[in-house]
């Protein structure tokens, strides 16, 4: 399977104006975002972690591509990303880096609101976020999300990383495609030595608006009839997941990330067949 998600040509994006978004986990650093409209299409750009002293660090943008491809293999609807090699200017300093780009997923007439805000507006007394989503008819979406978030150990599924799209003219309310998977896998390992002894089945504390702080416990929230998904993962999937990423992500990270995904997939298969 081939795709065009990785553009290794050096793109000149020095004209983009970047704004800082503090990391929702509360730790140091910022994610920088930009947007532009080109030929009638509105594009959003996102960098990996940035601080004024170290510059652009980490590989969250590359994680987005890996997660995008994994979701494609598993046949779970999601927002599509591209990885670009580019020149950018931040605080008057030029950098050559990798960044990801996505197309605006809103349709004409759509307005969006964070799921946590929508829940506060529309919930009934005593209803938790998971029960609320099920009542809205979003059970399959939520359960597929819990599966992928376990497989990549997504730490950051807070209530604003899920969005509700409302279209008053069409009288529809739906959830936006799954997006924002950067804080996953070994996102905090900026040096190879940080990969030593890493546990691919670690159950580090996570944020999950509709579940608990444990990705493994969140799997157990899934009823038996929702545990099987259309797609699957094989050992041959590694080639597709990392295609074109050799220049963006060193070999030790690719090896560690693949081990993590594969071990967690084996765990998930045992779980769904139990």
Last residue of a domain, one of 103, 131, 157: 103
Please state, rounded to an integer, the average pLDDT across all residues of the chain: 93
- Domain identity same for 133 and 174: yes
137 touches 196 (CB < 8 A): no
- Domain identity same for 63 and 154: no
- Domain identity same for 96 and 157: no
- Domain identity same for 118 and 90: no
Q: Is residue 240 part of a domain?
A: yes
The whole-angstrom separation of Cα 264 and Cα 266 is 5
Binning pLDDT at 50, 70 and 90, where does residue 31 land? confident
The two three-digit tokens of residue 181, written as one number: 């998977």
The phi and psi torsions of 75 (rounded to 5 degrees) equal 60, 45
The pLDDT score that the predictor gives to residue 192 is 93
CA gyration radius for the chain?
Answer: 19
Last residue of a domain, one of 86, 103, 120: 103
Buried (b) or exposed (e) across 139-174, using 16+ Cβ within 10 A?
bebbbbbbbbbbbbbbbbbbbebbbbbeeeeeeebb
214-221, long-range: CB < 8 A, 24+ apart: 215/146, 215/149, 215/150, 215/153, 215/154, 216/150, 216/267, 218/146, 218/149, 218/150, 219/146, 219/147, 219/150, 219/268, 219/271, 221/130, 221/143, 221/146
Number of domains in the chain: 2
The phi and psi torsions of 26 (rounded to 5 degrees) equal 90, -5
Q: Is residue 189 part of a domain?
A: yes
Report pTM. Answer: 0.94
The pLDDT score that the predictor gives to residue 274 is 87
The pLDDT score that the predictor gives to residue 21 is 58
Q: What is the CATH number of the domain that holds 257?
A: 1.10.1070
Range of the domain at 234: 110-273
- Domain identity same for 187 and 71: no
Q: Is residue 29 part of a domain?
A: yes
Last residue of a domain, one of 74, 103, 132: 103
- Domain identity same for 75 and 144: no
- Domain identity same for 121 and 238: yes
The phi and psi torsions of 165 (rounded to 5 degrees) equal -105, 125
pLDDT of 135-161, one tens digit each? 999 999 999 999 999 999 999 999 999
Q: Is residue 56 part of a domain?
A: yes
Angle between helices 139-151 and 60-73 (to 10 degrees): 120
* 166 Cβ neighbours under 8 A, 6+ residues apart: 110, 111, 112, 113, 172, 173
Q: Is residue 204 part of a domain?
A: yes
Q: Report the percent of the chain where pLDDT is more than 90.
A: 86
The residue length of the chain stands at: 274
Q: Is residue 1 part of a domain?
A: no
- Domain identity same for 124 and 239: yes
62: nearest Cα among 231, 243, 260: 243
Question: Beta partners for 103?
Answer: 43
pLDDT of 226-258, one tens digit each? 999 999 999 999 999 999 999 999 999 999 999
The pLDDT score that the predictor gives to residue 29 is 44
- Domain identity same for 135 and 260: yes
- Domain identity same for 80 and 171: no
The whole-angstrom separation of Cα 178 and Cα 165 is 12
Q: Is residue 16 part of a domain?
A: yes
- Domain identity same for 64 and 114: no
The pLDDT score that the predictor gives to residue 2 is 67
Q: Is residue 146 part of a domain?
A: yes
- Domain identity same for 208 and 163: yes
């Amino acid at each position: 399977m081939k795709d065009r998600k990785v553009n290794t040509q050096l793109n000149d994006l020095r004209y983009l104006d970047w704004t800082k978004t503090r990391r929702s986990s509360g730790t140091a650093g910022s994610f920088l975002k930009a947007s532009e409209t080109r030929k009638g299409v509105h594009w959003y750009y996102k960098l990996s972690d940035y601080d004024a002293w170290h510059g652009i660090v980490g590989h969250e943008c590359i994680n987005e591509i890996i997660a995008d491809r994994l979701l494609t293999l598993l046949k779970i609807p999601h927002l599509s990303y591209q990885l670009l090699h580019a020149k950018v200017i931040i605080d008057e300093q030029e950098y050559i880096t990798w960044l990801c780009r996505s197309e605006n997923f809103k349709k004409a007439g759509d307005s969006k609101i964070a799921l946590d805000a929508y829940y506060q507006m529309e919930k009934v007394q005593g209803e938790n976020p998971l029960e609320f989503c099920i009542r809205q008819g979003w059970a399959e979406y939520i359960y597929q999300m819990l599966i992928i978030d376990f497989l990549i150990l997504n730490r950051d599924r807070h209530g604003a990383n899920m969005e509700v799209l409302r279209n008053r003219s069409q009288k529809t309310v739906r959830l936006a495609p799954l997006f924002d998977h950067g804080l996953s896998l070994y996102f905090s390992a900026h040096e190879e030595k940080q990969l030593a002894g890493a546990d691919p089945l670690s159950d580090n504390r996570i944020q999950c608006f509709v579940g608990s702080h444990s990705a493994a416990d969140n799997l157990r929230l899934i009823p038996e009839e929702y545990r099987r998904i259309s797609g699957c993962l094989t050992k041959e999937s590694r080639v597709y997941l990392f295609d074109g990423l050799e220049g963006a992500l060193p070999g030790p990270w690719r090896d560690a990330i693949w081990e993590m995904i594969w071990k967690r997939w084996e765990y998930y298969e045992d779980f769904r067949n139990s």
